[in-house]
Amino acid sequence: MRLETPLLTTSRSRGALAHLAVLPAVGVALLVAVLVTSVAFATPSDADTTWSVVPANAEGPDGRSVIDLELAGGQQVVEHVAVINRSTQPVDFAIDANDGYLTSKGYFDMRPSDAKPTDGGSWVAVPEKVTIAAGATSVVPVTVSIPQNATPGDHPAGVTASLETISGQVRVQNRVGVRLNIRVTGDYVAKVAVTDVQAQYTGSWNPFAAGSVEVTYTVANVGNVRLVTDNRVLTSTFVGENTWSDPSAANARELMPGGSRTFVARVPGAWPLGPIGTTVTAIPSPAGKPIPGVTAQRMAIDTTVWALPWPQLALLVLLILAPFAIRLVAAWRRKRIEKLIMLHSKGTPQEA
């Protein structure tokens, strides 16, 4: 499991507040959980230990970045992960399996080690701990047993090797993990729903500049397999159309079954000419490899936002009133000049 961007989540761990951060570490994810307690602990000698965890076969690392499994209900398989101790001392690592999920930014994370798994993580059995010599690698068996009545579709999970270090009254749990994409065979459903579409127009006081439409919408995975959506927004007025396509990376648009994510799009080039039709389209496709025989339908939702051309109307009024204003000013100046001439002629003495 490779997570490219740091991520922060919170959880409860052993009655204390835990902060989980996902950090990149040699092709894996380093989950740092800071447990703040009121009890003082001794600082362990292995506080600077470094290690990594990668998918493996029975002999050692096999070059995979994640473990993809497609199993039928009642089926069991033994996978492996390699825990590599990169430090200069032997270390006892705690091994844990739990449910996986996607954060609000689309990064894969795992539930904290003290949370009881309820989905794919509960089907994974691993040793409680493993002792690894300095600079050595240990291959850890990972047994995945699918219940007979498991529902078809994706059930994300993960396996971590963790180590706790102590600094004063702060206990730090470092977790390095591998992602497991567990898929139970059966009737796959690839479907999304687009909801909560809201559009707001932001205009410019420059009558010669177009405004923009900000669209907020939520895409939910209502199927049973992981999906990546290609999101597009179309705005249309009497003078033309403008389109927007989500430029974010695919992982930021991945959705687990039952998951949802809210997106914000800003579509420029919209002129305020009354109603602006707005269409949000989500085009889903299975995450990872294509699923034979499974086609996800695109979903589209329409809404309308009104934009009145106040700057343009003000300019039009100004252009209409300008000739009258010029005439009034010209008439006022002409009368003033005539009055001055008259006053001047009255004040000048006439010759005999």
CATH number, domain of 178, equals 2.60.40.10
Q: Look at residue 6 in the predicted model and tell me its pLDDT.
A: 29
> Looking at the structure, do residues 85 and 105 belong to the same domain, yes or no?
yes
Q: Which domain holds residue 198?
A: 192-310
Taking only the tens place, the pLDDT of each residue in 192-220 is 999 999 999 998 888 888 889 999 999 99
The residue among 165, 184, 203 that closes a domain is: 184
- If asked whether residues 14 and 146 sit together in one domain, one would say yes
Tell me, yes or no, whether 335 lies in a domain. no
Total count of residues recorded for the chain: 352
Q: Are residues 122 and 64 in the same domain?
A: yes
Task: Give the Cα separation of 311 and 206 in Å (integer).
Answer: 7
pTM above 0.85, yes or no: no
Give the contacts of 148 (CB within 8 A, at least 6 positions apart): 73, 74
Q: Token digits for 137?
A: 């690698």
CA distance 178 to 26: 12
- Residue 348 CB neighbours (<10 A): 7
Split into its structural domains, the chain has a count of 2
Same domain, 275 and 159: no
Which of 187, 213, 217, 216 shows the shortest CA–CA distance to 202? Answer: 213
Rounded to an integer, what distance in angstroms lies between the CA atom of residue 150 and that of residue 17?
33
Same structural domain for residues 134 and 229? no
Amino acid at position 112, single letter: P
Domain membership of residue 180 (yes or no) is: yes
What one-letter code names the amino acid at 199?
A
Instruction: Give the whole-angstrom CA distance, residue 67 versus residue 78.
Output: 11
254-255 and 227-237: which strand pairing?
antiparallel
Is 2 within the bounds of a domain?
no
Q: What is the C-alpha to C-alpha distance for residues 30 and 49, in angstroms, rounded to an integer?
A: 13
Q: 297 and 201, same structural domain?
A: yes
101 pLDDT tier (thresholds 50, 70, 90): very high
Looking at the structure, tell me whether residues 286 and 231 fall in a common domain. Answer: yes
User: pLDDT per residue over 120-150, tens digit each?
Assistant: 999 999 999 999 999 999 999 999 999 999 9
CA dist 49 and 29 (Å) reads: 15
Asked whether residue 340 is assigned to any structural domain, the reply reads no
